[in-house]
Amino acid sequence: MAGRIRVRAQLSDGVTEVKALMRHPMETGLRKDADGNAIPANFITEVTATHNDRVVMQAFWGASVSQNPFLACRFTGGAVGDDVTVNWVDNLGETGTGTTKIR
């Protein structure tokens, strides 16, 4: 059930604030499980936020971003009802996506 992203986008005084929570373990590869086996690294490496089709934020991440990561950013030019989409891709090539409308 990863791959999910919760996105909300709120317009206020001409600035749209995007907040996204992503379902992802963000494993560093440095931890061991209860049986002492190494837990393989698995973390989001890239995130983009788009407004309609325009990129409003791009991020490169390492494994030290927290589990189930949170990202907030702000842009101008949005209008109520416009689409905001957040996508991620991780080090294993898997992806997640979430969309909302500006309110």
Partner 1 sequence: MRMKSISLRSLSLMGVVSAFFVLAACADSSSPEKGAASEIADVALANSVYDALMASTNDKGQATKARLRQDEVQEFCSKPRSDYGDAERANAIREARMALVQMPADGEFIGDWARGAEVANNGRGLQYSDDPAAPNGGNCYACHQMDPREVAYGTIGPSLTNYGARGQSEVMLQYTWTKMWDTHAYNLCSHMPRFGAQGILTEQQLKDVMAYLLDPASPVNQPLEAQQEN
Partner 2 sequence: MKRLWTVPALALCSIALSAFAQDGGVFDQYREMLGDDSPAIFVIDEGEEYWYAPAGPNDVSLEACDLGLGAGVVEGAYAQMPRFFDDTGRVMDVEARLLHCMVTLQGRDAAEVHAKPYSGRGDMGTEMEALVAWIADQSMGSPLTPGQTHSEEQAAFTLGEQIFYYRAGPHDFSCATCHEQAGVRIRLQDLAELPNPEAARDIATTWPAYRLSQGVVRTFGWRMRDCLRQQRLPELIMGSEASVALQHYLSVKASGAPMNAPGLKR
Partner 3 sequence: MVGYEESSGLSRRGLLRAGALLAAVMAVPGRVWAAVKRPDGAFKAEGIDAALASIASDAAVSDQIDLETPDIAENGGTVPVVVNSKLPGTTRVAILVELNPNPLSAIFVVPEGSDAYIETRVKVAQTCNIYALVEAGGQWYQASKETKVTLGGCGG
Interacting residues with partner 1 (CB under 8 A) = 1-3, 23, 34, 89-90, 92-96
Pick one of 52, 58, 68, 76: the residue that binds partner 2 (CB under 8 A). 68
- Contact between 40 and partner 3 by CB under 8 A: the answer reads no
Structure-token pair, residue 58: 């791009």
- Chain centroid to Cα 6, Å, comes to 9
Binding piece for partner 3, criterion CB under 8 A, among 5-13, 32-40, 54-62? 54-62
C-alpha span between 31 and 37 (Å, rounded): 8
Residue 78 or 98: the one with the smaller Cβ distance to partner 2 is 98
Q: Which residues of 3-38 are buried (b: 16+ CB within 10 A; e: fewer)?
A: eebebbbebeeeebebebbbbbebbeeeeeeeeeee
CA-based nearest residue to 22, from 92, 85, 103 = 85
- Contact between 99 and partner 2 by CB under 8 A: the answer reads yes
Site of interaction with partner 2 (CB under 8 A): 1-2, 4, 6-8, 19, 21, 23, 25, 27, 31-34, 39, 66-68, 70, 98-101, 103
